[in-house]
Amino acid sequence: MKVRFILYNRFFLSIYFLSFSLGYGVAIDLIELMQDYHDNVREQARNLVSYSVKWTSRLKQQSSLVSYHTTKRAQLDVVRVTKELARVKESTCSEIQKVIEKYRNYVNETYISERFRPGRKHRRTNEFKKLFKSAHASLREVSDELEALYTQEKKAHDALRKAEIACEILQFDPSTTEKQLARANDNKTKQETIVIDIEEKLLETKDKYKSAQKVYRTKATEIFKQCQYAEEERLDQIRETLLDFIQAMYTQKYSSDLDEIFGNLSTKVTTHQNSFDDLLFWAKTYGIENKLTKSLTFTTDDNDVEENIIEHRTTKKSSSHGKEKNDKRHSAMEHEADEEEPTATISTTIPAKTKLKRTTDKKNTNINEPSTTNNHVLNHV
């Protein structure tokens, strides 16, 4: 019976200490689990930024003959939006880090370092050990008393058996005197009295042990309930941390940010990308225009460095093209003036107004021919 209740006590202790000794390892695994996810998300954010830098540079290096104006801006907008996604992911990392730090603080407060060996133990370990020892002390005392009575009973029975054997020997020995026989019977009676007293004490101690056993059961159950409360607190904290972690992984704000980012991007590409505007831009850039295209304008983005370069090129080419036209026109006028001088000498009957009209017609012919050619090329494009 004593062994059974010692095992009962050890059962409570083993359940409690096994749970709390392994609890710290589980807590560390949960921290590492969340930290690993945090590191992965941060790496994704860095990769998105690298992606944005790489493809922004690559798109800007594309030939302006095939990549230009609103379509090029649309591609750049799509690439640059990854920086916004990286910002959202960095915000997610910050929220996850808050959850990790909160749980880490709880673990550091709950599990304290042991003095003479590595590792950590629950902060209430010593408290529960003392409670178990105190509850078991009264039972241990009665148990020790009961064990001593069992030993005395065994010795008393052995002594009584020896006394009975001695009496039997003296009874069958013809040389035994009455005095010797009476002494043997007295010894036998004495041993019987001792055995009876021990058995009575044993019965009393057994009842006392049963009462102590009930008290111990009650106290041990209460202590174990406290252990369960501490274990429940640990499990609830894990549950709360997991919910916080899930909330940090994908919150409503995260969802709304993504909706806003991609909604704005889709709207921007839909409204700002204009293929006709791009064709007009290309024609103006490379000087393939007619009267209709000259009167049209296209949108520009002052924030786009690439487009500013193209606009500068457009202005430069237009000015050089105009200068070249003026030079050719001036040369033609000088050539016609040289040809008209002998004619004026030979045929004096032609009025000056007729000469001026002829010269003007030639100029108009020279000006209209490039416009017809440009219009044809633009329609072809």
Where are the chain's structural domains?
2-259, 274-380
pLDDT tens readout for residues 294-333: 555 655 554 444 445 444 554 554 455 455 555 555 555 5
Asked if the model's pLDDT at residue 378 lies above 50, the reply is no
The set of residues, in sequence order, having a beta carbon less than 8 Å from that of 115 and lying 6+ positions away, is none
* pLDDT confidence band for 341 (50 / 70 / 90): very low
- Record the pTM: 0.61
pLDDT tens readout for residues 215-264: 888 888 888 888 888 888 989 999 999 999 998 887 777 777 777 888 88
Asked if the model's pLDDT at residue 357 lies above 50, the reply is no
Which two tokens mark 324?
A: 């070249």
* Assigned CATH for 2-259: 1.20.1270.60
Q: DSSP string of 221-261? A: HHHHHHHHHHHHHHHHHHHHHHHHHHHHHS-HHHHHHHHHH
* pLDDT confidence band for 107 (50 / 70 / 90): very high
Dist. CA 36–CA 39, nearest whole Å: 5
Backbone region of residue 69 per phi and psi (left: phi > 0; alpha: psi in -120 to 50; beta: other values):
left
pLDDT at 104: 94
Mean pLDDT of 192-205: 91
Dist. CA 94–CA 111, nearest whole Å: 26
The CB density around residue 136, as the number of other CB atoms within 10 Å, is 22
- What kind and span of H or E run contains 111? strand 111-113
Residue 151's alpha-carbon distances to 4, 156, 213, in angstroms, are 19, 9, 21
